[in-house]
Amino acid sequence: MVQGCKLPLMKPSPREESRGREGDDAAFARGSGPGAQTVAEVEGLPVVEVVRLAVAEYIDTRRRDPSFQVRLQDSMDRVNRAMDNLRWPGTEAAPS
pLDDT tens string 76-93: 999 999 998 988 877 765
Q: Name which of 13-27, 35-49, 61-75, 76-90 the model is least confident about.
A: 13-27
Average pLDDT, the chain: 79
Residue 24 host element (H or E): helix 21-43
What's the pLDDT at 5?
52
Residue 8 sits at φ, ψ, to 5 deg, of -70, 145
Do the beta carbons of residue 24 and residue 12 sit within 8 Å?
yes
pLDDT at 36 over 70: yes
Asked if residue 16 has pLDDT above 70, the reply is no
Residue type (1 letter), 26: A
pLDDT at 26: 64
